[in-house]
Each structure stands twice: as structure tokens, then as C-alpha cells.
Amino acid sequence: MSDRTNTAPNDLSAFWMPFTANRQFKKNPRMFVAADGMYYTTGDGRQVLDGTSGLWCVNAGHNQPRIVEAIAKQAAELDYAPAFQMGHPKAFELANRLVDMAPEGMDHVFYTNSGSESVETALKIAIAYHRARGEGTRTRLIGRERGYHGVNFGGISVGGIGPNRKTFGSLLTGVDHMPHTHIPENAFTRGQPEHGAEIADELERIVALGDASNIAAVIIEPMAGSTGVLLPPKGYLERIRAITKKYGILLIFDEVITGFGRLGSAFGATHYGVTPDIMTTAKGLTNGVIPMGAVLTSSEIHDAFMTGPENMIELFHGYTYSGNPMASAAGLATLETYKQDGLFENARDLAGYWEDALHGLKGLPHVIDIRNEGLIGAVELTPIEGAPTKRAFQAFLDAYDAGILIRTTGDIIALSPPLIMNKGHIDELIGKLADVLKKLD
Ligand code: PXG
């Protein structure tokens, strides 16, 4: 074995980076070494405005003093406590705070460590719930094209992303997909689009063919984030809710991106006024600082498990780090920050200015659609013939050089800045993005 103790810190080969073009990155790496408020500092000492809240998670901005202090204090006080058959106060306190901010009826919280684990947990709870009630034939799951539900096997099965099938094969059986809601007649819509509520009726066809007695749950993002900011047409979510209710099928909202103020309300469910049976969260729960996810369920679901002998474990599921003290402390400080600093209100107040600024990019070269909701935006570009994704990725590289962090998916630029943003930050972000787009080949 080679002696690795002298490996220079600039040797980049050992770290196999996630969702990254490793060889390209390592030839010309982009490193962040510090962050504060709205800005990252790069390895070469430049300030980069965070237009994406890291990966849609740093909703309260970087280096938030309450969160920094809470983590430091927690590490010294109680670093870890067993998650099974033992408790610690902050996990219970955080669950109560989450229930307080969730829609009426979402009364229980199961902790995970990521959005992907929240999704797996929600799917397992849905199947086990029907079984607990004597409807064990309800095992089928329904997702949606262009849905993103993380990277584990359940999530990629209900998700609607082609490359997952190309790379990982047949995935889970017993899964159907509804069509996505992204239709051309809604191009350049501000906020929720007018057309497409009837796309929800495809669910009726899937139920007619598969039979409700076999179907456990439907899972969708209230607004699909990572496949390019695909908004629910007006009336669509209401129809999905009505159809699932009619057939006794559980509705899971994957709120990993839409949770914690991104749309100007606590959750997508509260923003759109449609309450599911289960909600998955992560990211903004702890401001992205310590990994944590949470699944919220109704009492009806939770209570269905609370039968049988009291010495028995009711749900055969959990993680070593479920509700761990450091994450719980970070979560409590994060929720306190959202409340004390009025960050959801700030997102709501800024949404109009954000919308106007974004739609001001209409008419720039290659721009074929602009979409927005809350503090989320997307600018879709025409792909280069025969080289999809290349144009948007070039925009990402140019933007980084210009001092703004954006995300791209396919040829779509996605923006989701921290909720602490002000109008000056919007002007800087959109102004620099406009300059990048004007010069793009
Ligand atoms: N559900 C949804 C709706 C998500 O957006 C996950 C589950 C999985 O979460 P974890 O914590 O396991 O990554 C996500 C994650 C992007 C981007 O730029 C989006 C995500 C993650 C990383 C990048 O679009 N979403």
C-alpha cells in the first residue's frame, strides 16, 4: 500500500465527486473556501453571489450566527445519543416546531438524513400503512415523468428521469408514472400557468387499469424543482388531491425543495392550499448545514401503526442518525431564524420584484422560456444542435467567472437564492446573468 500521509492537499484524484463531470472538474477545479450571508469566497479570493442557496438548501443564508452557535453548543453538550429506544429533548422539540408550521393535520415527524431517505421512508410508510389496516394488496406506487425524488432505489423508481433507467436498469416493479405538466402553451408564464389542470385526469386512467385496491400512493413534487422548475397548472394539484382521496390512495408531496419558505410560505402545501397525507422534507430544515430530513404524516397514518402489544416496535424502520442531537440543534436554530428574521415573508415580499427582474431576460439570445414562483426562477435556453446541455453549462462556467452561482439542468438555468436576499442582490444576480447570456454562443 502506498503511503498517503504526504498526499498534497491539491491532489484531487481520491474524491469521486457526486453528480459531477469529474475529469473536466479536476482539470480546472472550482473551489469555495468560505461563505457569509449571500456570498461564497472562492479559493482565489473572489466573492460569488449565491444564486442557488448552495443546492437549494441554505435558505437562511451562510454563516447564520444562531445556527453556528447552536451547533457549537450542542457539540459540547450532547454530541450523539442513540436513536433507537432512547431519546433526547431537542428531537422532540423540533418535531413539535415542525408540526406547528405544517398544514393542519400533519401531526407526526419521522427523521431521516437526506431528501432521498425521506422519500424511501415515505414510500415504506405508505405501503406499511395499508398493510396495517388490512389492505396489504395496496403496494403499487405512482410517480410522474420528470419527477425527482432523490437517488435511492425507491426514489429513482417513482422518479421520472430517463438516465436513471439507462444507468441502473429496471428499478422497482409495480410503479406507474403520470405525465409531467410542462406544456409549450405555458411558455413565459408568470407564476402558476393557466393551462394543463386536466393532465391530472391521467391518474384516473392509471387507477382504472391498475385498480385502486392495488395502489398505495401517489408521489409528486408540488413544484418540480431539479428537472427544471416545472410549475403545477392552476387546479392541477386540487384534482390530484380529489382523485387520490376518491380511491383511498395516499398522496405524498415531496417538499424537499418547496419546503421552508422557497415559495414564500412554509411549504408547497401551504402555498398552494392543498394538503397531502405525507410530506417529505430535508435541505432547508437545517439550512443545509447538518444533513437532516423529516417525513411528516397525518395522525390517521401514524395512529394506524399504534396497535398491538406496547412492547413491540410499531414501524420497522429508522437510521443511526435519525433526529441526532447536532442536526436537531441546527434544525431548531434554523426554524427560529426563519421566524425571527421573517424570511418567509421576505421571500413573499420580494417575489414580485424577482418575477419582473427575471422576465426582463426575455428576448436575450437563446432564451425560449422563463418561469418563476416564490424565490425560484428558471431560464430555458435552446440547446445547441447535437450537443444538449452544453450551452447552459457554458453559461454556468461564465456565470461563475462573472461572480454568480447558478445551477443548470439540461439546458435550463435554475435559480433559488437564499431568502435573506434584497433587491440589490436581485439586481446583481440578474444583471450579471443578462451579461452572461448576451455573450453566449
Ligand atoms: N426530493 C426532491 C424533490 C429533491 O429535489 C431529493 C428528493 C433528494 O434529496 P437529497 O438530500 O438526498 O439530495 C431532492 C434533491 C438541483 C439539485 O440542482 C436538486 C436536488 C439535489 C441536488 C441538486 O436541482 N434535489
Q: Are residues 185 and 322 both part of a single domain?
A: yes
Q: Are residues 280 and 183 both part of a single domain?
A: yes
Residue nearest to atom 16 of ligand 1 (CA): 226
Last residue of a domain, one of 312, 340, 368: 340
CB 333 within 8 A of CB 67: yes
55 Cα: distance to centroid of ligand 1 (angstroms):
8
Pocket test for ligand 1, best of 226, 252, 396 (most atoms within 8 A of CB): 226
203 Cα: distance to centroid of ligand 1 (angstroms):
25
Last residue of a domain, one of 306, 321, 340: 340
Pocket test for ligand 1, best of 57, 118, 144, 283 (most atoms within 8 A of CB): 283
pLDDT (0 to 100) of residue 140: 98
In sequence order, what E strands does 63-214 have?
A: 106-112, 140-144, 175-178
415 Cα: distance to centroid of ligand 1 (angstroms):
14
Q: Are residues 283 and 353 both part of a single domain?
A: no
Query: pLDDT per residue over 277-287, tens digit each?
Result: 999 999 999 99
Residue nearest to atom 17 of ligand 1 (CA): 226
Residue 380 pairs in a beta bridge with: 369, 412
Q: Are residues 289 and 350 both part of a single domain?
A: no
- 434 is written with which cell numbers? 443578462
Angle between helices 325-340 and 343-359 (to 10 degrees): 70
Q: Are residues 164 and 186 both part of a single domain?
A: yes
Tell me the CATH number at 359: 3.90.1150.10
Residue 356, number of CB atoms within 10 A of its CB: 13
Q: Are residues 348 and 308 both part of a single domain?
A: no
Q: Are residues 420 and 303 both part of a single domain?
A: no
| Beta strands at 278-281 and 250-254: parallel, antiparallel or unpaired | parallel
Q: Is residue 226 part of a domain?
A: yes
pLDDT (0 to 100) of residue 4: 43
- CA-226 nearest atom, ligand 1: 24
Give the chain's residues under pLDDT 70.
Answer: 1-10
Q: Is residue 7 part of a domain?
A: no
- CA-254 nearest atom, ligand 1: 3
Q: Are residues 184 and 301 both part of a single domain?
A: yes
CB 422 within 8 A of CB 385: no
Q: Is residue 10 part of a domain?
A: no
pLDDT (0 to 100) of residue 6: 44
Q: Is residue 16 part of a domain?
A: no
113 Cα: distance to centroid of ligand 1 (angstroms):
13
226 Cα: distance to centroid of ligand 1 (angstroms):
7
Pocket test for ligand 1, best of 118, 148, 161, 230 (most atoms within 8 A of CB): 148
Query: pLDDT per residue over 4-52, tens digit each?
Result: 444 445 699 999 999 999 999 999 999 999 999 999 999 999 999 999 9
Tell me the CATH number at 77: 3.40.640.10
Q: Is residue 12 part of a domain?
A: no
How many secondary structure helices (H) and strands (E) does the chain include?
15, 15
Q: Is residue 11 part of a domain?
A: no
Q: Are residues 44 and 82 both part of a single domain?
A: no
114 Cα: distance to centroid of ligand 1 (angstroms):
9
Pocket test for ligand 1, best of 52, 117, 257 (most atoms within 8 A of CB): 257
Buried b (16+ CB within 10 A) or exposed e, 296-316: bbbeebbebbeeeeeeeeeee
**Percent of residues, the chain, with pLDDT higher than 70:** 98
Angle between helices 89-101 and 325-340 (to 10 degrees): 40
Q: Is residue 83 part of a domain?
A: yes
Last residue of a domain, one of 340, 362, 386: 340
CB 283 within 8 A of CB 55: yes
Residue 169, number of CB atoms within 10 A of its CB: 7
CA separation, residue 189 to residues 5, 183, 373, 423 (Å): 56, 11, 10, 22
Q: What is the DSSP string of 163-183?
A: HHHHHHTT--SSEEEEPP---
Residue 18 phi/psi, 5° resolution?
-75, 145
Q: Rounded CA gap, 154 and 335, in Å?
A: 29
Q: Count the domains in the chain.
A: 2
The pTM of this model reads: 0.97
Q: Is residue 44 part of a domain?
A: yes
Q: Are residues 335 and 346 both part of a single domain?
A: no
CA torsion sign for 76, 80, 85, 90 is positive
pLDDT (0 to 100) of residue 422: 98
User: For the chain, how are helix, strand and coil distributed in percent, rounded to 5?
Assistant: 40, 20, 40
CB 106 within 8 A of CB 99: yes
Q: Are residues 398 and 331 both part of a single domain?
A: no
- CA-409 nearest atom, ligand 1: 24
115 Cα: distance to centroid of ligand 1 (angstroms):
6
306 Cα: distance to centroid of ligand 1 (angstroms):
31
- 212: domain range? 68-340
pLDDT (0 to 100) of residue 9: 56
- CA-283 nearest atom, ligand 1: 11
Residue nearest to atom 23 of ligand 1 (CA): 55
pLDDT (0 to 100) of residue 1: 41
Query: How distant is the alpha carbon of residue 360 from its chain centre?
Result: 26
pLDDT (0 to 100) of residue 5: 46
- CA-224 nearest atom, ligand 1: 3
Q: Are residues 86 and 215 both part of a single domain?
A: yes
In sequence order, what E strands does 84-135 have?
A: 106-112
Q: Rounded CA gap, 355 and 377, in Å?
A: 8
In sequence order, what E strands does 200-249 have?
A: 215-220
Ligand 1 pocket at CB < 6 A: 55-56, 114-116, 119, 148-150, 221, 225-226, 254, 256-257, 282, 407, 409
